[in-house]
Amino acid sequence: MSPLPQVLLDGLVAGGAYALMAAGMSLILGVVKVVNLSHGAFFTLGAYVAYAMADRGIGGPVAVPLAAAIAFAFGVFLGKSFINPARSHPFALPVGTLACALLFEQAAQLAWGPHPLAVDGGAPWPGPFGVVVRRWGAVAFLASAAILGALRILLVCRPGLPLKLVAEDEEIASSVGIDVEAVRYLTFGGACAMAAAAGALLAPAGAITPTMGRGPLVLSLIVVIVAGMDSVGATFLLSIALGVLGNACAYYLSPQWSYVALLCSVALLLSARPTGIVAVPGRRD
């Protein structure tokens, strides 16, 4: 039996995971206008919360919202106390958020130790044509699609208007009475919650370690750079495409070529469309 359906399905799941991380990153870049290098740390936080819950016999339905709530609180605190005050210094934020990520890694190492931990993902479901459907993979993909769908609806409806206005022009937003700072730190907290939800959803996929967020951080940055910051749909579809491409290259060429192929595709896309594949014309600076 051909392994192609399995490879494609696994690519879909991997892409869904990239999308959830990337959507949060995209929100922060678009609204707060900050390269948040601590995004991976919130992913790790979510995975550790899932582990701590699983250790007490509590499953994902509680762990994922709990992880998101904790990350939201941390994110709001970080946004209010550090991101907003330091925004006027262009180099302070990437360095500062990187420092936060390293601080979190050290704290996680002190709290849980450097050794890998694991959460049981349960037995996979047998699918048609010999395809195996990973339980955590299916849940993560559906949750990713649902969260991104909700975000898309929020951005086109009235409650999302402050977000769009702040993203478009902070001066105009401020002049119509929007509390720009509050929008920024609440957005930052919401994006951190999305990263933590991704971490909790994907905790059964592998090993949980203090440095596990570094890989997803790089992949989400790649997706955001290529997709641009204006379309949730483009972020989702590009994430899926990169997931499938990476998996197909790993299977048909070599696993080590998968990363190279991913980065080459990104370079080609960016050389063709330097502003990302979805660019909104006429944005005010």
Partner 1 sequence: MDTRSYPRTLFPGSLIVLSAVFLHAIIAMPVFPADKPGDAVRIGVLAPLSGPYAAGGTSFVQAATLAAEQANSEGGVLGRRVEVVAADTQGRVDVAKSEALRLVSREKVSALVGAYLSEETVGVMEVAASHRKVLIVPVAATAEITDRVRDEPARYRYVFRVGYSIPQWAELVVAFLSDRSVRRYAFVGAGIRWNRELGDALGRTAARAGISPAYVSYYSPGNPAFDPVAVAAAGSAPDIVVLGDPGRNSVSFLKRLREVAPGLPVFSIGGALGDARLAASLPLSGPLFVQAAAWSGASAAATEYAVRYERRYGAPPVGYSDTLPYDAVGVLAAAWRKAGSLDAAGAIAALEMGAFQGVAGTYRFDADHQARWGTGPGDLRGTVVRWERDGARIVFPPR
Cβ proximity to partner 1: between 250 and 278 the closer is 250
Q: Tell me which stretch binds partner 1 (CB under 8 A): 56-64, 112-120, 192-200, 264-272.
A: 112-120
Which listed residue (143, 238, 250, 278) binds partner 1 by CB under 8 A? Answer: 250
Which listed residue (145, 248, 266, 270) binds partner 1 by CB under 8 A? Answer: 248
Question: Using an 8 Å Cβ cutoff, are 28 and 188 in contact?
Answer: yes
Residue 39 found at the interface with partner 1 (CB under 8 A): no
Cβ proximity to partner 1: between 14 and 163 the closer is 14
Instruction: Say how many residues touch partner 1, by CB under 8 A.
Output: 64
Cβ proximity to partner 1: between 221 and 278 the closer is 221
Which listed residue (150, 207, 267, 268) binds partner 1 by CB under 8 A? Answer: 207
Q: Which H helix or E strand runs over 10?
A: helix 4-27
Q: Which residues pair with 118 in a beta bridge?
A: 207
Residue 267 found at the interface with partner 1 (CB under 8 A): no
Q: How far is the C-alpha of 282 from the C-alpha of 39, rounded, in Å?
A: 29
Residue 114 found at the interface with partner 1 (CB under 8 A): yes
Q: How far is the C-alpha of 26 from the C-alpha of 24, rounded, in Å?
A: 5
CA atoms within 13 A on the CB side of 38: 28
Residue with tokens 């937003």: 173
The least distance separating partner 1 from the CB of residue 222, rounded to whole angstroms, comes to 10
Q: How far is the C-alpha of 266 from the C-alpha of 111, rounded, in Å?
A: 37
Angle between helices 214-227 and 39-55 (to 10 degrees): 130
Residue 134 found at the interface with partner 1 (CB under 8 A): yes
Q: How far is the C-alpha of 244 from the C-alpha of 12, rounded, in Å?
A: 6
Residue 227, SS3 per DSSP:
helix
Which listed residue (62, 206, 269, 270) binds partner 1 by CB under 8 A? Answer: 206
Angle 119-201-55 from CA coordinates, rounded to 5° = 30
Give residues in contact with partner 1 (CB under 8 A): 3, 6-7, 10-11, 13-14, 77-78, 80-82, 84-88, 103, 105-107, 109-110, 113-121, 123-124, 132, 134, 170-171, 174-175, 180-181, 204-207, 209-212, 215, 218-219, 246-248, 250-251, 254-256, 258-259, 262
